[in-house]
Amino acid sequence: MGVTVWVNGELVDGGQASLTALDHGLTVGDGGFETCKVVDGVVFGRTRHLRRLERTLEGLGLTGFDADHLDEGVESVLAAGGPMPLGRLRWTVTGGVGPLGSDRSDTPLTYVVGLVPASPLPSHAHVATVPWTRNERAATAGLKTTSYAENVIALARAKSQGADEAIFLNTRGELCEGTGSNVFVVRDGVVLTPPLESGCLAGITRAVTIEWCREAGLEVREETLPADAMETSDEAFLTNTMRDVQPIATVDGRALATQTPVTDQAAAIFATCSAERMDP
């Protein structure tokens, strides 16, 4: 699978060294990133992803971000990647060269953009809850940072149990989010999802799913949900950049309802609206 990569203004060989060993994104995870879906060469939610990256960098205290420079990288990899029915685009901005520690140096930011072809994901998700928690009061709560080690650990555990996504509670024992997804449940025809105050990421797909479902007449509410909400609700589904709206089939190996009419309706709404509004 070919990867197209652009670093600090130049297309590079993705398999060769192109960053300094002292980049703060490498040494301490000091940076932010976004992953976007590309459909026939067009980036879905491009403006929203850019705005969220800006919020992450502001939250991290990283200054000097140049959105136009990042756009150069996006356009470069899209052009170099060639025709692509479905792709996964990632852009990363780090604190640049820094010391071997948490202090920062006054150096330019590092910009990395990568593009890889993608395949559609399975129709249903299988999730496993993990014993670790999201800290809704953490300095990085709600930020999409490159400090992803806990997600890597959690996802590996979920996969060892036959699942394809791990689900976190927060420190209050409330349902929070997946490693790279947001969680929704359906009760009596009402769609519910944890509020941002739970510590979950403000997912782009989460946001437009809420907006579009409400436009279509579905009742969607953000409210605190208990740990067992997925198992005790009528339906449950995930949203994220590549999953879109994906029903959950099993939780910790236990099967959920096979009939998911509200989830199916939400998925259809998302598919229709996203085809019409690639940059909502």
CB environment 244-259: b (16+ within 10 A), e (fewer): bbbbbbbbeeeebeee
pLDDT per position as a tens digit, 177-221: 999 999 999 999 999 999 999 999 999 999 999 999 999 999 999
Q: Which two tokens stand for residue 133?
A: 């928690």
Averaged pLDDT score across all residues of the chain: 96
For residue 17, pLDDT beyond 80: no
- The pLDDT, as a whole number, for residue 1 is 55
Spell out the domain ranges in the chain.
Answer: 4-117, 125-276
Q: Are strands 125-134 and 244-251 parallel, antiparallel or unpaired?
A: parallel
- The pLDDT, as a whole number, for residue 2 is 82
- The dihedral over CA atoms of 76, 146, 245, 227, expressed in degrees to the nearest 10, equals 180
Half-sphere exposure of 168 (CA within 13 A, CB side): 25
- Which fold does the domain 4-117 belong to in CATH? D-amino Acid Aminotransferase; Chain A, domain 1 (3.30.470)
Mean pLDDT computed over 38-43: 97
pLDDT per position as a tens digit, 90-146: 999 999 999 999 999 999 999 999 999 999 999 999 999 999 999 999 999 999 999
What is the CATH code of the structural domain delimited by 125-276?
Answer: 3.20.10.10
CA–CA distance, 249 with 235 (Å, rounded to integer): 9
With bands split at pLDDT 50, 70 and 90, how would you rate the model's confidence at 14?
A: confident
- The pLDDT, as a whole number, for residue 228 is 98
